[in-house]
Chains A and B, each alone.
Chain A
Amino acid sequence: MIYKNAKKLALQSFDNNILNQKKVNLIEGKLKSSDMKKYIKALKLIERKNTIYLVLPNEKIKNGVDYAIESLKKMYPGKKIEYLYDKSLMAGIKIINDDLIYEYNIGNTINNIFLHLNQKNYD
């Protein structure tokens, strides 16, 4: 099976962005292991595209970012929002939408200044 078909199959496995267990079980029983790998890869890709990760410095500030959640829901209707925690952000947030990362945190700003001063950006 070519990857394109695996991708089509993976798309069909979702109902309103929710993975249908019955469909997955049915497909699993009919695929060879090599095709199964492609199918899982395609499922992961779709899942990644359907999810937005909100990265916070710690769990305590989760309640303080309701405004951000509301905005994200409006901007990306139908996408799931999940929380991740990373202390290196220090303060602020990071939003991961598939392969795009939006950085609004001190950790990243300090890193960028450090790289700029050392001229390591493009050396």
Chain B
Amino acid sequence: MIDNKKIIEQLEKNLSSFSQISKTQNIGIVEKNTDGVVVASGLSKAFMGEEVKFDDGTMGVILNLDEDTVSIILFGNGENITEGSTIKTTGKILSINASEKLIGRIISPMGDPLDGKQKINDGKFMPLEKIAAGVVEREPVDTPLKTGVKLIDALIPIGRGQRELIIGDRALGKTAIAIDTIINQIPQKGSKLNPVICIYVVIGQKQSTVAQVADKLRQTGAMDYTIIVSATASDPAALWYLAPFAGIAIAEYFMEKGKDVLIVYDDLTKHAWAYRQISLVLRRPAGREAYPGDIFYLHSRLLERAVKLNKDNGGGSITALPIVETQASDMSAYIPTNIISITDGQIYLQADLFNTGIRPAVNVGNSVSRVGGAAQTPGIKSIAGKMRLELAQYRELAVFAQFGSELDEATLTQLERGKKTTEILKQPQYQPLPEAFQFLSIWVVTNGHLDDIPAESCQKFESEFHEFIKRKHNTLIDHLSSGEKPKEETIKKLEKAIQDFKKMFNLKN
């Protein structure tokens, strides 16, 4: 039983923070309630982005201020809000309660728990809308954020503080890349990089998909450093619109503490749809494809909040991986081109590659990272350049080879090497590779050790070689995990190891 004194003490403690009794209220009267948007008269003292409360407890936020009326988007379904209902201002700008306790949780964009656990009330209120950090507070992106996907880490490296778009048609593995990246942030032994907190923002997806993702993250242990902000298909458009802002507000809380954060927006196409719907109901003028005129600003102000702060400002970072879905591989549609121009590069997934069994189905020619080598460890950088060149030559030669003309031996060798490189860059879902093993795979193919292995055996060779190194040459893994460029001595050891392994592999097969 709780002691009476303790209860009274607790009440006194709570009351001591009750410093100001609200004496003035600004009220409004509902005039119209249509499709999640309420038009109300009164509320003369309300400001843009202010949270308001209806008499049935539903919350909303002010999005339009007109001469006699204000327009409010609702966070609930607003069934009980009728003409004449009263609204009160809260004097509070829309914000979310952020704290370390959110890690491992699934929450709505309003901070309500969706995982059946208790609501977190203590924490810091972070505003959903905030001006991004300025030039003085930033520093160049130079620290890698490892995705664990060989192809991406080698050819399209992502840095901490970068914004890298993942773009492609439906069901090509866009979410898979993002999830792999989250899984790969499990703290690695020997890594000099800071741990990363991940935030996965769900916009307009099926609840079953969210449950599946959460389950996968739990199974792999990634939920220990991940927060899911979820606005699913059945939620109102207002929540779809607010979800990425809630995600970035939480990310900023951790960044202010000097931590590195990864945020995935899955996906911004649906976010644009939600904003279009709200804007049309608000009767804002429609532009191209019926999107409002400020659709570019909506995404640019969101993605600009991804940042790498300098040491004077805590040195934290937010890396953003927005996802955009294209229709029939049309990269030149309105929203994709907007976001391509905002971000620092894109990973383009192509249906043809996916259908021919290349996974991840990344089109290397159309993908780019504008940060490039600055966000690569010296180890990977030392071998990735050669592979990039070989792949480019292969692509060019492969076009000529299609004509069936006779090819000289050097060209055939190059084509063969290209095929092997493509094979080695294939990687199954949910199996991100640590840096040391990425180095081994790329080193093996770029140094011609796969030239005498049939293309169909390349993946088997790769996995068995990894196992072999783990068993027999564990010290090599420690050397390669440091991210430093391998010394001559290490390379010699590797050469010897591959010779030994090849003897075994050839005998077995």
Contact = CB atoms under 8 A, between A and B. Distances in A.
Interface in A74-123: 98-104, 108-109, 112-113, 116-117, 119, 121-123
Contacts of B51: 122
B11 A117 contact: yes
Given A98-B42, A99-B43, A113-B18, A119 B28 contact: no
Interface string A31-57: 000000000000001000000000000
Contacts, number: 56
Interface in B1-59: 11, 14-15, 17-18, 21-28, 41-45, 51
B177 to A, nearest CB: 37
B121 A101 contact: no
A98 B25 CA distance: 11
A99 B46 CA distance: 11
Q: Which of A3, A100, A104, A119 has the most CB of B within 10 A?
A: A100
A100 B90 CA distance: 13
B25 A101 contact: yes
Interface of A: 3, 7, 45, 98-104, 108-109, 112-113, 116-117, 119, 121-123
Contacts of B27: 99-101
- Chain B contact patch, size range: 20 to 34
Contacts of A123: 119, 121
Given A99-B41, A100-B25, A117-B18, 11 more contacts: A45-B68, A99-B27, A99-B43, A99-B44, A100-B27, A100-B45, A103-B23, A103-B24, A109-B21, A116-B15, A119-B121
A63 B14 CA distance: 38
B125 to A, nearest CB: 9
B43 A112 contact: no
A123 B119 CA distance: 9
A113 B15 contact: yes
A100 B42 CA distance: 9
Nearest to B111: A123
Contacts of B23: 102-104, 108
A101 to B, nearest CB: 4
Interface string B469-501: 000000000000000000000000000000000
A49 to B, nearest CB: 10
Contacts of A122: 51, 90, 92
B121 A103 contact: no
Contacts of A45: 41, 68
Contacts of A7: 68
Instruction: Report which residue of B21, B26, B44, B51 has the largest number of chain A beta carbons within 10 angstroms of its beta carbon.
Output: B21
A116 B17 CA distance: 9
A103 B25 contact: yes
A117 B44 contact: no
A108 B22 CA distance: 8
A71 to B, nearest CB: 16
A54 to B, nearest CB: 15
A123 B110 CA distance: 9
A41 to B, nearest CB: 9
Given A117-B11, A122-B92, A99 B26 contact: yes
Counting chain B CB atoms within 10 Å of each CB, the highest count among A98, A103, A121, A122 belongs to A122
Contacts of B44: 98-100
8 closest Cβ pairs, A-B complex: A99-B42, A101-B25, A116-B18, A117-B14, A99-B27, A99-B44, A103-B23, A112-B21
Contacts of B22: 103, 108, 112
B24 A100 contact: yes
Contacts of B25: 100-101, 103
Contacts of A98: 42, 44
Interface in B336-366: none
B42 A116 contact: no
A10 to B, nearest CB: 12
A121 B51 CA distance: 12
A29 B27 CA distance: 34
